[in-house]
Amino acid sequence: MPTPSCHVCGKAAVTGHNVSHSNRKTNRKWRPNLQKVRIRERGKVHTVLVCTRCIKSNRIQKA
């Protein structure tokens, strides 16, 4: 299954490490805040995942 990403800017999860005080490293992920939004694209209405930064900056036209 592909990693969910923003339909507009392509932002997806990023991996890295949690680092403890004793410098032990465990894997972790930073996930974008994706929301399901109905958008109008090329005259049709689609439901897509869009990050909140794209929603706030009006990069999409809501249906």
Closest CA to 49 of 36, 31, 30, 38: 36
Q: Please state the pTM of the whole predicted model.
A: 0.84
Distance, in Å, from the CA atom of 35 to the CA atom of 8, rounded to the nearest integer, reads: 12
**Which pLDDT belongs to residue 1?**
66
Count of structural domains within the chain = 1
CB-based contacts of 46: which residues, under 8 Å, 6+ apart?
Answer: 38, 39
List, in sequence order, the alpha helices (H) in the chain: 52-56
Confidence tier at 3 by pLDDT (50, 70, 90):
confident
**Residue 6 maps to which CATH number?**
2.30.170.40
Q: Which domain holds residue 20?
A: 1-63
pLDDT tens digits for 38-58? 999 999 999 999 999 999 999
pLDDT tens digits for 6-45? 999 999 999 999 999 999 999 999 999 999 999 999 999 9
Mean of per-residue pLDDT scores for the chain:
95
